[in-house]
Amino acid sequence: LPGYEGSSPVRVGNAATQQRQLDVYGEVMDALHHGRQHGVDAEADGDAWELQRVLLDFLESAWKEPDEGIREVRGPRRPFTHSKVMAWVGFDRAIKDSHRFGLDGPVDRWRAIRAEIHDEVCEKAWNANRNTFVQYYGCDDVDASLLLLPLVGFLPATDERMLATVAAIERDLSVDGFIMRYPHDESSADVDGLPAGEGAFLPCTFWLADNYALAGRRDDALAAYERLLSIRNDVGLLAEEYDPVAGRLLGNFPQAFTHVGLVNTAYNLSDARSATPRRVAGPQ
- Amino acid of residue 271: D
CA distance 243 to 16: 25
For residue 185, what pLDDT is reported?
62
Using DSSP's 3-state secondary structure scheme, residue 139 falls into coil
- Amino acid of residue 90: G
Question: How far from 187 is each of 36, 132, 221, 262, CA to CA, in Å?
Answer: 43, 20, 31, 31
H or E element at residue 209: helix 202-214
pTM for the full model?
Answer: 0.86
Identify the CATH number of the domain defined by range 126-284: 1.50.10.10
Burial (CB < 10 A; 0-12, 13-18, 19+), residue 230, is exposed
Phi, psi (rounded to 5 degrees) for 250: -135, 160
DSSP H helix total and E strand total for the chain: 10, 7
CA distance 262 to 202: 9
- Neighbour tally for 236: CB within 10 Å: 10
For residue 61, what pLDDT is reported?
92
CA distance 72 to 130: 25
Q: How far is CA 151 from the centre of its chain?
A: 8
CA distance 253 to 241: 9
Average pLDDT, consecutive stretches of 10 residues, N- to C-terminus, the chain (284 residues): 69 71 92 87 74 94 89 83 97 94 92 97 97 95 96 96 97 91 66 63 94 94 94 92 86 89 91 47 44
| Helix axes 81-101 and 48-62, enclosed angle (nearest 10) | 140
Q: Enumerate the domain spans of the chain.
A: 18-40+49-124, 126-284
Task: Note whether 212 and 224 are within 8 A (CB).
Answer: yes
Task: Note whether 48 and 101 are within 8 A (CB).
Answer: no
Name which of 143, 177, 169 is nearest 73 in CA terms. 143
Q: Using DSSP bridges, classify how beta strands 174-175 and 178-179 pair: parallel, antiparallel or unpaired.
A: antiparallel
For residue 274, what pLDDT is reported?
44
